[in-house]
Structure 1
Amino acid sequence: MAIIPTRIAIDAMGGDHAPSEIVEGALKAQEAYGVKILLVGDPQKIKACIHHKSNQPLPEIVPAEDIVEMHEEPLTAIRRKSKASINVAMNLVKEKEADAVVSAGHSGAAMASALLRLGRIPGIDRPAIGAILPTIIPKKPVLIMDVGANVDCRPKYLEQFAVMGTIYSEYVLRTSDPKVGLLNIGEEPSKGNDLAVRTHQILQENNQIKFIGNAEGRDVLSGEFDVIVCDGFAGNILLKFAEAVGDAVLQMMREELTPGLSGKIGTAILRPNLKRMKQRIDHVEHGGGLLLGVGGICIISHGSSKAPAISSAVRSAKEAVENRVLERINSKYVPESKQSIVSN
């Protein structure tokens, strides 16, 4: 029996470098990961970006008549532009013609379209964006939930983020018995604002996760935690700061590798180490964040994403599909959610 490849719908018109970099990344991912790519957008503009040289089949192009601009109010634009590329891509997942969506366009529009077209998983109040950051322990990343979908949160939202994050960490990131932390300004349960104090108690009482306490800012990259939950306001600041630090470190490395013969020799010797370090700290390696809690797999990439980031995002989408993240959240979380002790 032939194996059916994972089908990834890509919003080819979304992002600062669309459609050229989006198409290039999609083609690289198709060849590298054996997925079926559906490029959604203006057919003429997409075709102009395809310079196919491999033996792989050409990606399927799905026409879309409009795009959501970055300056537009997301919900209004999504409702007004029913044939925008992000809406068409989400509809492909809704109609089971694609298994996942990748978009580097308007993140608010992607979230709004996912909610309106795919809906929430039963038992989930608010979807969250999970972002993966490296830690000082090799091959041991940390998942941050939420990094921008929900600026204001209630304790039960953070509890749901912790459960969904645990499932993703265990089955996609291959973490055994993921340890969960709550982002806070101190280790003591009494530290932090009202949200942090109330959430700490709720997480302690949840037997679906392994909650080990508060995570201060200095703990985020320590490797002590596998999942860290927070509201989207703090999470987004944390994510962008971490990415900026990674970019700064890479730039410093380039500047400190002195020119001339000695610099070239030193660089040649260190090249394998430098390459591994770049892979660990470069956010391009992960391609974007998974929107957990909606009824479909959706990867939201940076607006500035270029081909390597899009290719990585496709890989992340494929891993989420193959590891049945949606089914696991449904089967593990939802039945017990009806018996939740949480009252907010």
Structure 2
Amino acid sequence: MTDTPRIAIDAMGGDAGVSVTTEGAARALKLDPRLKFLMVGDEAAIAAALAMHPALKAASDVLHAPEVIAGTDKPSQAIRRAKTTSMGLAIDAVKQGHADAALSAGNTGALMAMSKLALRTLPGIDRPALAALLPTLGDNDLVMLDLGANTECDANNLVEFAVMGAAYARIVMGLERPRVRLLNIGEEELKGTDEVKEAAALLRDAPYLPLSFDGNIEADRLGRGEADVIVSDGFTGNVALKSVEGTARFITDLLRRAFTSSFRSKAGFLLSRPAFHMLKTHLDPNNHNGAVFLGLNGIVVKSHGGADAGGVANAIGVAAKLARSSIARRIADDLARFHAHHPASAAAK
């Protein structure tokens, strides 16, 4: 826990690479002047980009990495190149204590594999989970996990995700007892797989946890503001996330097409432009950028590969907030409390 977090950034990751990464870091520094950075990647390219941002240059150190993890690299290939790539060296900086968090917009599978191997999981955690913030109609965003790190999960994994997601929600949204629900094919207790039903029973039997378990929720209610944390296995969660993102793009593209279809529509657009801008801003994934691998002995944040500078700045903000918190201790304490009441779940690890 530190008030001046140092963020190790894979400067070469993402679709646009170092130019957008440095612009995003410069924006984050303007919002939070206490930040420090370790920019990891091609030294010459980073130096040229930093020359455009004097304040960021003064707040940054550069670590040269001769290689970059490609989007097509398999996790096994990435692991073998961890010591020579910008992604691997950014993660290693967290492991060695040279940075408080790592951030990359690169290959998600490679980032997950290298992070888990280098940092390991917290005591009591079987598998880390990928969590992200999604917009809702409520007063707060929604924490959703897992979003693809674990395609198959048992009941204990889902309970661990619930505990981790609730701890994350308490930090990023300031909630004392986040409302947690399981993503399911129906709200009834009898619906769903055996794993989901067992996880629901375990969570209902854990009032001592700092969360409020509100049962199941269907995918069509994700954005209604009826939950603060939604838990699922990684396969289901990833499909749901991509459906939400695709629907958001469909709506904005459909409205854009409708507003340009005729002179009358164009005139209507001029009148409704403020509302359309608000909708676009609310649905823009850059404004909710920064997924987190929860459950590791260190903080690793995943930025969208196509994020713009504003999106990168938001992801850096997430990393800084977690670095200033005690999320690892909160997760470990909550899980220790759960395992004390359910020794069979701990013995099964």
TM-score (norm 1): 0.91
Aligned to 2:25: 26
Distance in 1 separating the partners of 2:334 and 2:204: 18
Separation (CA, whole Å) in 1 of partners of 2:140 and 2:317: 18
Distance change (3 Å), C-alpha of 1:67 and 1:198: same
Change (3 A) 1:273 1:175: farther
Residue 9 of structure 1 contacts residue 38 of structure 1 at CA under 8 Å; is this kept in 2?
yes
Instruction: Describe the shift of the 1:55–1:88 C-alpha distance in structure 2 as closer, same or farther (beyond 3 A).
Output: closer
Residue 107 of structure 2 is matched in structure 1 by 106
Counterpart amino acid of residue 15 in structure 1: G
Deviates more, 1:324-333 or 1:216-225: 324-333
Partner SS, residue 224 of structure 2: coil
- Spell out, residue by residue over 1:32-83, the C-alpha distance to the aligned partner (whole angstroms, 9 max, x if none): 2222122101111222333525655443211112222222221342134422
Pairwise CA distance, 1:175: 2.5
Taking the aligned partners of 1:23 and 1:126, their CA distance within structure 2 comes to 32
What is the CA–CA distance in structure 1 between the aligned matches of 2:340 and 2:81, rounded to whole Å? 36
Opposite residue 37 of structure 1, the aligned amino acid is F
Matches within 5 A, 1:330-341: 330-341=332-343
- What is the CA-CA distance between 1:164 and the residue it aligns to? 0.8
Question: What CA distance in whole angstroms lies between the structure 1 residues aligned with 2:179 and 2:39?
Answer: 38
AA paired with 1:13?
A: M
Aligned residues: 341
TM-superposed deviation, 1:305: 2.3
Aligned to 1:143, the other structure's residue is in SS state strand
* Equivalent AA in structure 1 for residue 339 of structure 2: S
Counterparts of 2:297 and 2:315 in 1: how far apart (Å)? 18
Alpha-carbon distance, 1:270 to partner: 4.2
Change (3 A) 1:96 1:157: same
CA RMSD of aligned residues (A): 2.3
Classify the secondary structure of the residue corresponding to 1:225. coil
1:299·1:317 contact (CA, 8 Å) conserved in 2? yes
Q: Equivalent residues in 2 for 1:58-73 (5 A)?
A: 58=58, 59-73=60-74
1:131 partner letter:
A
- 1:233 to 1:320, Cα distance in 2 relative to 1, 3 A: same
Measured after TM superposition, the shift of residue 153 of structure 1 is 0.6
Q: Which residue of 2 aligns with 1:250?
A: 252
CA distance in 1, matches of 2:4, 2:108: 27
The runs of 5 or more residues in structure 1 that have no matched partner are none
Percentage of pairs with the same residue: 36
Distance 1:282 1:4, change over 3 A: same
The aligned runs of 1:1-344 (5 Å cut-off) are: 5-34=4-33, 35-53=35-53, 55-58=55-58, 59-137=60-138, 139-207=139-207, 208=209, 209-258=211-260, 270-343=272-345
Describe the shift of the 1:160–1:216 C-alpha distance in structure 2 as closer, same or farther (beyond 3 A): same
